[in-house]
Structure 1
Amino acid sequence: MGIQTKHFVNAPSDLVIESLQGLCTLNPHLGIDEASKVVYLTEQDKSNVAIICGGGSGHEPAHAGFVGEGMLTAAVCGHIFASPSPAQVRRGIELTDNNAGNYTGDVLNFGLAKEQFAATYPGKAGQVKFLNVGDDVAVGKTQGSIVGRRGLAGVILVYKIAGALARSGASLDEVHRVAEYVSKRLATIGVGLDHCHVPGTAGGESHLQPNEIEIGMGIHNEPGTKRLSPVPSLHDLVQQLLGMLLSQSDPERSFLPVTGRSDEVVLLVNNLGGVSELELGAIVREVAAGLSTRQVTVQRVISGTFMTSLNMPGFSITLLLLPSAADTDAPAPDLILHLIDAPTSAPGWKWSSGAPVSDLTSPRNPKSSTAAAGSAKGPTIRAENPSAFDAAVKRACAAVNEESSEITRMDTIAGDGDCGLTLQTGVNAVLEQMQVGNVSGSDVIGSLIAISEIAGVKMGGTSGALYSFVHALYTDSACASDIVTPSVWAKALSSALENLYTYTRARPPSRTLVDPLDAFVRTLSAVPDDVRSAVERAASAAEHTREIDAKAGRSAYVESDVLKRERVPDPGAWGVKVILEALIARSA
């Protein structure tokens, strides 16, 4: 896959400051010192500890997006993937100087800034404390013995806990003690499908093959520590990641002191920038279920975009191990959870339920209607040749699977790019129903009910609604005869088509799947025994969609010159052609 190299910018050199200005536009309680790129709360409670953090830009919403009451007091922002200078950090300390003290986080430059502030203001030297947070488990203990662990998304939980504790009026020493404890109970692992591109730099090719993913990638485009090929299922991938986070047998990665008995965690699933919300929801579900099977109780789950690597297509998993009863000098688990749940005005913080995760290992969903389709049938009639019916359905499903990539390619030009996947989802569901006996030539009506429910539920969207016209077939095919003859098929199809036309305004020629469907049904209705001619007319109508303007469907929103130049047929119409040709393939 190629790296995304196009960006919405005025000038790459101005992007950071313009982004910070946009953040302050979003939140009028924030101020910005543009010269030092420091975003800070304009109205601060000087009696509370101030929390200052920062680092390179490109990780938004970290760090500036977490400035707000109950979280950070100020964030110091460097250039993209570059740490801010000591002078910038010192300016951040000055902007938040108060009576209770300041708490800072980062490594070299923040440490130097702390020393410079102490030299400049000797009387306040004890009012600034420093903490470095490292939570990455990708690099083993031996390899990272000098540089330590990298700081990844786990630092956001430190921000939240320290900020909420400071807002409660806790002392500088208490804030530092709790934050330091939390920082030592964090473990994070990231995985990516590719790297990201920094605005203003030359475009590059991916160093990963299309069938590879990388585990342990850093948030500054650093390579990972392990590649996997082929790309595993989400379930298998999450199992590997959880193994790295929770391992006690690997001396290089046993960072969390888990016991395997009644461990409790806070779970943070972080979008590294380029993962859809659709995928992120599935990741949350998979991680929570994986922890449940390992007897780890998730007391809180938080998901969203917290610490990114610009638009990297990847995610990270962070576990915060809560104190056990044996940790006598630790803060109480209820205190940590209370601080996680405490409200904040920081725009980057996401909603959380404030409650433990329910058990995902027990079934919670009722059986689908499709699975029980066979129990709701009316009269039973069979095909003239049940085995031939079954074979034809299987051929049609196989043909759609084979053509799904090409249909998707057509739909990326003429529609919204999902037609191939939608059809593939539908036919694979049909195959599943054949295995359990809900689709069979020995029960045509039950088969049509099952297929129509699949079209409406599994496929969805406009295509699903149009294909579900088969739902009308079983009402007309339920005749006195116990066998579906060609004339019964023709009559039922004609009735179903007219029923479909009560729900759509599309009429041929419309550059939709209606074109071949109408041609097939009308030809078959005229001569029920000549299925081949009906299929040929349908195929011709599907081919003709290359030449005509779209009057309905997704293609109606696409520039007509693009469709004519590309000469791509309508994807839905092509799907009908593929299915019909496969149904009669054996009679060639």
Structure 2
Amino acid sequence: MSIQSKHFTNAPENLVVESLQGLCSLNPQIALDVADKVVYVANPDRSKVALICGGGSGHEPAHAGFVGDGMLTAAACGSIFASPNASQVRRAIQLTESDKGAVIIVKNYTGDILNFGLAKEQYAALHPDRADRVKFVIVSDDVAVGKTQGKIVGRRGLAGTCLVYKIAGALAKRGGSLDEVYNIAQYVASHVGTIGVGLEHCHVPGTAAGESHLKASEIEIGMGIHNEPGHRRLSPVPPLSELIPQLLELLTSTTDPERSFLPFTGKDRLVLLVNDLGGTSELEMTAIVRETRIALEVQGYTIERVLSGTFMTSLNMPGFSITVLLLPPASVSDAPAASLLLSLLDEKPEVPGWKWSAGSQPLPAAEQIKQTQGTAPVAAVRGGATLRAADPGAFVAAVRRACAAVVQAEPELTRMDSIAGDGDCGLTLKDGANGVLRETDSGRISGEDVVASVIAVSRVAEEQMGGTSGALYSIFFSALAQGLQSTHSGSANTLTPAHWSRALSAALEQLYTYTRARPPSRTLVDPLDAFVRVLSGSDGADFGGAVKAAGDAAVRTRDLEAKAGRSAYVEGDRLRSEQVPDPGAWGVKAILEGLLAR
């Protein structure tokens, strides 16, 4: 089937901000900080715990559609499928500072954890008296990612996150303490499971129209919300009566060593959430609710609440996900009472994104669905020395070549990432390259002050790239600026190849304190590590050999199993059989080869 690649926009690059402005028209309680794309309650009750969330756009109504009385206090919104940067999150915290503190809730994606975590740590450093009043909850509810496959990166955060928002937000509105709100958010996050399924992937506005990922007869189980490939494909598309039991087996199995995440007994009380991933009709959604209820009750589960609608989408993906919240039995003394969880879930928040729900247990089907004959069933500023390049003109020319190489490589990087990740790597790097070119045109990047130039590149990576790549590049170039100053000594202010070599080694080691990825890992660290180590071994003299080593390492990612990054969620044999290099590694290759070219 074809991908729906047409959209209603003025310009794709303005879509996120214009959407948030429209949301403010719907909800008079909220305001928008346009510069940082933060939606927040304009006049929050600062005597109550603040709830802060966010992530990439494209998942509407999550996250901004849940900001308002009784739910979230602020949401920091990134570009489509890209994490907001740390400064955006800091702004969200500042706008909603509460006397009781704040709970930050994020989905388990590396970019979100890095950027929200960095903002939390920066806030604590600036306000040491409030450091213990900002707590962090990570939601990882995707059961499609097995324990072995996700042993480093963990499971993705999906629609179960919305139940965490709702229950924690209701308790905060009641005046719960910081610990109470945090503890109940942690409990819900650790007792939800989600599985998604799609008929096709989605299309990101502003990108080239892609080819279909799936055949007309195929369906994909375990798809993520950023266009990541799923756990397996089925053909032909099974009827719901066959599909739903397969999905529930992944959710509720206690015998599968890879997916026994929750202690189901088969007689549990559950909350059921059926979520539209963006492109599924209401007609189909209620049929899915019906079939899911039947399958759960056949297995002996008691469904206490049913929710259905668009909660966390993947733009216009034709698919749905099923989330179950396992309620605690009365015999468990160290858990919140099921009655408390249900009452918090039932409270109606004043937000446009939360869908109507009955607030009561569904009636037995026999009481509502009457079968009669003939009827059918119802369905910062820096200090230190000013250091110059040995040849300032050549320095700037090399920067421009590297940026041009990335821009030229964007279509191929996007193609690779559409298979190995979420499809945004090429555009993310292109945005960064264009940002660096603008800084160069303005004179803020020059060979006369290399440290200031490197800091400018770091700032571009943080503010204009975003996501995991932006955070990693920003950390690396920030560390490189530190390394250039700390490894330089003497009165001469001209950098030598040896200075660069030592500074790059220091920057790589600093980057490694923020990521577990080590070569060979099928990530951008593979070519980066190869480049730095060859350059270091020659004390900076063999730049050409170091670039070649990086290129070779990037090529070798075609045959590697992903250990980190979003490719870790993709079935490894498929990546190797299609000989798709890691797009992040290929981006590093393009940058370094651009620097080397004459």
Q: Is 1:327 aligned to residue 332 of structure 2?
A: yes
Match of 1:105 in 2: 105
Q: Any idea what SS the aligned residue of 2:65 has? A: helix
Q: Is the 8 A contact 1:289 1:361 kept in 2?
A: no
Structure 1 position 169, deviation (Å): 0.4
1:42–1:370 distance in 2 versus 1, CA, 3 Å: closer
- Which residue number corresponds to residue 229 of structure 1? 235
Deviation sequence 1:4-42 (CA, Å, 0-9, x none): 010001111000000000000111111000111000001
Residue 245 of structure 2 corresponds to which residue in structure 1? 239
Return closer, same or farther for 1:151/1:338 CA change in 2, 3 Å cut-off. Answer: same
Contact kept, 8 Å, 1:246 with 1:256, in 2: the verdict is yes
1:269 aligns with 2:274: yes
Give the partner amino acid of 2:104: T
Is 1:289 the counterpart of 2:294 in the alignment?
yes
- Give the deviation of 1:329 after TM superposition: 0.3
AA paired with 1:117? Y
Work out whether residues 60 and 308 of structure 1, in 8 Å CA contact, stay in contact via their aligned partners in 2. yes
| Contact 1:162 1:178 survives alignment (8 Å) | yes
**What are the residue-to-residue correspondences of 1:208-223 with 2, within 5 Å?**
208-223=214-229
CA distance in 2, matches of 1:39, 1:350: 19
Report if the CA contact (8 A) 1:266-1:298 is conserved. Answer: yes
8 Å contact kept, 2:31–2:39: yes
Q: Secondary structure at the match of 1:72?
A: coil
2:355 aligned with 1:350, yes or no?
yes
Letter in 2 for 1:85: N
Which of the residues 327, 336, 342 maps onto 1:337? 342
Q: Distance between the aligned counterparts of 1:145 and 1:324, measured in 2?
A: 29
Contact 1:292 1:360 in 2 (8 A): no
| SS state at 1:132 partner | strand
1:167 pairs with 165, 168, 173, which one?
A: 173
2:283 to 266, 272, 278: 278
Q: Is the 8 A contact 2:47 2:98 kept in 1?
A: yes
Structure 1 residue 363, shift from structure 2 partner: 8.8
Residue 174 of structure 2 corresponds to residue 185 of structure 1: no
Whether contact under 8 Å (2:105, 2:165) holds in the other structure is: no
Q: How does 1:307-386 map to 2 (within 5 A)?
A: 307-360=312-365, 364-369=369-374
Residues 1:182 and 1:152: Cα distance change in structure 2 (over 3 Å): same
- Call closer, same or farther: CA 1:212–1:45 in 2, change over 3 Å: same
**What's the counterpart of residue 25 of structure 2?**
25
| Secondary structure of 2:351's aligned partner | coil
Superposition deviation, residue 127 in structure 1? 1.0
Cα offsets for 1:517-539 (capped at 9, x unmatched): xxxxxxxxxxxxxxxxxxxxxxx
Structure-to-structure mapping, 1:444-523, within 5 angstroms: none
Secondary structure of 1:287's aligned partner: helix
For residues 4 and 77 of structure 2, the distance between their equivalents in structure 1, rounded to whole angstroms, comes to 24
In the alignment, the residues of structure 1 paired with residue 375 and residue 50 of structure 2 have an alpha-carbon distance, to the nearest angstrom, of 57
What is the rounded CA distance, in whole Å, between the counterparts of 1:332 and 1:370 in structure 2?
42
Are residues 1:86 and 2:91 paired?
Answer: no
Kindly provide the amino acid, as one letter, of the partner of residue 321 in structure 1.
L
Shift of 1:142: 1.1
SS in 2 for 1:189: strand
* 1:151 counterpart residue number: 157
**1:45 lines up with 2:50 in the alignment:** no
Name the aligned partner's letter for residue 63 of structure 1: H
Distance 1:361 1:215, change over 3 A: farther
Cα deviation, residue 362, structure 1:
8.2
Counterpart residue identity of residue 140, structure 1: G
Post-superposition CA distance 1:326-369 (Å, at most 9, x none): 32100000000000001210110011111112334789423233
Partner of residue 67, structure 1:
67
- Given that 1:289 and 1:360 are in contact with CA atoms closer than 8 Å, whether structure 2 keeps it comes out as no
Work out the CA distance in 1 between the residues paired with 2:347 and 2:88. Answer: 30
What does the per-residue CA deviation read over 1:400-446, in whole Å, with 9 as the maximum and x for residues that have no partner?
A: xxxxxxxxxxxxxxxxxxxxxxxxxxxxxxxxxxxxxxxxxxxxxxx
What is the CA–CA distance in structure 2 between the aligned matches of 1:309 and 1:156, rounded to whole Å? 14
Q: Which residue of structure 1 lines up, in the alignment, with residue 259 of structure 2?
A: 253
Q: Match of 1:427?
A: none
Rounded to whole Å, the distance in 1 between the matches of 2:12 and 2:275 is 26
Over 3 Å counting, the alpha-carbon distance change for 1:336 and 1:216 in structure 2 is same
Which AA in structure 2 matches 1:366? Q
Structure label with greater radius of gyration: 1
- Aligned-pair identity (%): 65
Distance 1:369 1:68, change over 3 A: same
8 A Cα contact 1:153 1:188, kept in partner: yes
Deviation at 1:325, TM superposition (A): 2.2
Mapped to 2, the partners of 1:42 and 1:359 lie a distance apart of: 43
Q: Distance in 2 between matches of 1:344 and 1:5?
A: 34
1:189-220 residue CA offsets vs partner (Å, 9 max, x unmatched): 00000000000001111121000000000000
Q: 1:67–1:74: 8 Å Cα contact kept in structure 2?
A: yes
Show CA shifts across 1:365-386 (max 9, x none): 2323369xxxxxxxxxxxxxxx
Name which of 106, 116, 121 aligns with 2:122: 116
The aligned residue for residue 547 of structure 2 is none
Q: Which runs of 5+ in 2 are unaligned?
A: 107-112, 377-598
Structure-2 change in CA distance of 1:160 and 1:370 (3 Å): closer
Aligned residue number for residue 142 of structure 1: 148
Q: Which TM-score applies when normalising by structure 2?
A: 0.61
Q: Name the amino acid aligned to 1:281.
A: T
Distance of 1:95 and 1:194 partners within structure 2: 39
